[in-house]
Structure formats: C-alpha cells, structure tokens
Amino acid sequence: DVKVTQSSRYLVKRTGEKVFLECVQDMDHENMFWYRQDPGLGLRLIYFSYDVKMKEKGDIPEGYSVSREKKERFSLILESASTNQTSMYLCASSSVVTKQYFGPGTRLTVT
C-alpha cells in the first residue's frame, strides 16, 4: 500500500514563527504536492515538485516556500507564519501515471 505521512497532525504556532511541515512518501513517486484546504474553498495547490530539487508554484504560493532534497521528502515552509495561514495542509504524491495519494493532513493554527 502507498503510504504518505506528514510530520504532525496538529500544530499551533505564533505569528512570525518559521514553520516546517514535512511530508514523506514510500512509493518512489516523482511528483509531490502541497495543498491547503479551507471551508468553502476546496483544495488549493500551493506548490508541487516533479523531481528532486525541482519545484513549481501552484495557485497560492505567496507566503510559502518548499524544499525537495530527496525524492521521498517534500517540505513546506512558512517563513513567517500569519493568522491567515491557519488551515488544513494536505500533502500528496503520485507517479506520472497514477492518481494522487494523500497524507493524513496537518491542521495548523497560527495565533
């Protein structure tokens, strides 16, 4: 079974803190994705990566950066967390021919 894991299920951070969200997949997938999910807005793509050290902006990259140093790991970084970044963050991975498999999600609260 494909497994996508995320470092935390729940996270509370203060405004201005640097926040790292980590995602690991065990299926040797080329593609990895970070989404945020907010009520009434569905899933919005923040960044994605189609190879190690490669990244592409999604629909809402402002305030975020990413890092992919190893194929299995894709990190989302909030350089200076703000209250409007309070959200559910979902990581996903896929190969070029498969559907996306999602991790369990991280519910981030910025106070």
Partner 1 sequence: ELKVEQNPLFLSMQEGKNYTIYCNYSTTSDRLYWYRQDPGKSLESLFVLLSNGAVKQEGRLMASLDTKARLSTLHITAAVHDLSATYFCAFHGGATNKLIFGTGTLLAVQP
Residue 86 sits in the site that holds partner 1 (CB under 8 A): no
41 touching partner 1, by CB under 8 A: yes
36 binds partner 1 (CB under 8 A): no
- Write out the E strands in 1-111: 4-6, 10-13, 19-25, 31-38, 42-49, 56-57, 64-70, 73-78, 87-94, 101-102, 106-110
Indicate whether 26 belongs to the interface with partner 1 (CB under 8 A): no
Residues that bind partner 1 (CB under 8 A): 31, 33, 35, 40-45, 48, 50, 56, 58, 90, 92, 94, 96, 99-105
